[in-house]
Amino acid sequence: MFAQPLSNWLRRHGIHFAWVIAFICFLTMLTSSAALGLPGVLLQPLGKEYGWDTEQISSALALRFALYGLMGPFAAILMDRYGLRKVICAALVLVTAGMALATRMTALWQLVVLWGVVLGFGSGLTALVLGAVVANRWFEARRGLVIGMLTASTATGQLVFLPGAAWLIENFGWRAAIFPVCLCALLVIILAVCFMRDHPEDLGLTAYGAIPSAAAAAPGSGMRPSTMTGTRPVATTPAPRTRLSIGDPFRMLGHVRGNQTFWILFATFFICGLSTNGLIQTHFVSLCGDFGLSAVPAASVLAMMGAFDFFGTILSGWLSDRYDNRKLLFWYYSLRGLSLLWLPHSEFTFYGLSIFAMFYGLDWVATVPPTVRLAGNAFGKERAGMVFGWIFAGHQLGAATAAYGAGAARTLLLSYTPALYVAGGACLIAALIVLGIRRVHY
């Protein structure tokens, strides 16, 4: 609608429209991550109002994580078939509906449907695959930086929304905390409708940093894309684009099922999800409540983790281009494991939680760039995206396991400590097995 006029205006000022696309993608992933993180602040309010125990609520959140991950291998296919704009809008409509309708629920099965199924499918459409697709389509240069920034949007969503959500819960009730996320989702839908485009060629551009002569033609337009200098498009024959089919992810999984590197990355990313989204993101506020810390300061500690993770993830992307990614993952998982093992002994003071937030936060999502790089080196650029989709599915299955398992531990044992010990020990195991990946020279 307004993309072409804005693109022309930005081109006259030396700015590539790819940065607008990246910004919309960042806001989309930020909103989805906020919707995923918000239920963690609502565990205790929901339990008080409806009488549900932590295990029952966690079952819905576990289903959400599982569907969020399993959508990964298929999200790229939907983007290819229906376009980025339609997928983003559909995803955010699902997220908004799942969050908003929950304010009217009266039974546990409704929580499972809304926050398990609807929110799981919606957020899964805008998972890390969206960032990878946008970075690969719109950026030739600065691609690693863009992936790092988009990945860090998950931390930014936590940083922006959770402290405010905790304050709203304390002062106005848990339903009031849902509406800022819904409002943000609606605003991003408007931006996507007005400005989102699938390919640079749709606006007569090349990808950012691409050589104009190497650019593909605009789909169905018969025109060669123009460069940033404003050259008029030149007629040419468009190159056909191969469309993915719904069976391609399964064929890819069958192709790599005997590959040792795939299973090591799958296992370590399973442990990554086990020790992050499923455990800390979901249960940290409730865990702090067990030690007498109210929701607002607990959510502020989560926001502090998000701040450290934002910089840690971008730094990890820079390091992954320069150092052995196996060794980076060894240190990331080791530090995370040690921090989780230490958390029950921190006495949950401001000083102790600040130390935990720093060490844990720096590598919350820092594992993503080295894992993507190792997958790319092992399976090639063409296969890496879909293979990583399955590896990411492992991450969210781990998150689902921890979301339910930690909730069950809290209900049966009246303590989260066993779950923290299990996750910390699993991280130390991941640090060791990642060294089993065949060495790649950079």
Residues 116-147 have pLDDT tens digits of: 899 988 888 887 778 878 887 888 877 767 87
Single pTM value for the model: 0.77
Give the mean pLDDT of the chain.
83
pLDDT digits (tens, 9 = 90+) for 354-375: 888 888 888 877 888 888 888 8
Q: How confident is the model at residue 221 (pLDDT cuts 50, 70, 90)?
A: very low
Q: Across-strand partners of 9?
A: none
Higher per-residue confidence, 147 vs 421: 421
pLDDT above 90 coverage of the chain, percent: 28
Amino acid at 78: L
Q: How confident is the model at residue 219 (pLDDT cuts 50, 70, 90)?
A: very low
Region 275-298: mean pLDDT is 86
Give how far the C-alpha of residue 232 lies from the chain's centroid of Cα atoms, to the nearest Å: 38
> In this structure, how many other beta carbons lie within 10 angstroms of the beta carbon of residue 167?
16
Region 381-406: mean pLDDT is 83
Which of 77-86, 206-215, 383-392, 412-421 has the weakest average pLDDT? 206-215
Region 402-413: mean pLDDT is 89
Distance (Å, whole) CA 335 – CA 137: 35
Higher per-residue confidence, 441 vs 436: 436
Quote the pLDDT of residue 432: 95
Q: Which residue segments constitute the domains of the chain, with CATH numbers given? A: 3-208+246-436 (1.20.1250.20)
Using an 8 Å Cβ cutoff, are 125 and 70 in contact? no
Q: How confident is the model at residue 232 (pLDDT cuts 50, 70, 90)?
A: very low
Quote the pLDDT of residue 227: 41
Quote the pLDDT of residue 329: 94
Q: How confident is the model at residue 308 (pLDDT cuts 50, 70, 90)?
A: confident
- pLDDT of 94 > 90? The answer is yes
Quote the pLDDT of residue 237: 42
What sign for the dihedral angle of Cα 69, 139, 381, 333? Answer: negative
Q: How confident is the model at residue 254 (pLDDT cuts 50, 70, 90)?
A: confident
Nearest to 436 by CA among 297, 281, 285, 259: 259
Backbone angles phi, psi at 248, to 5 degrees: -60, -45
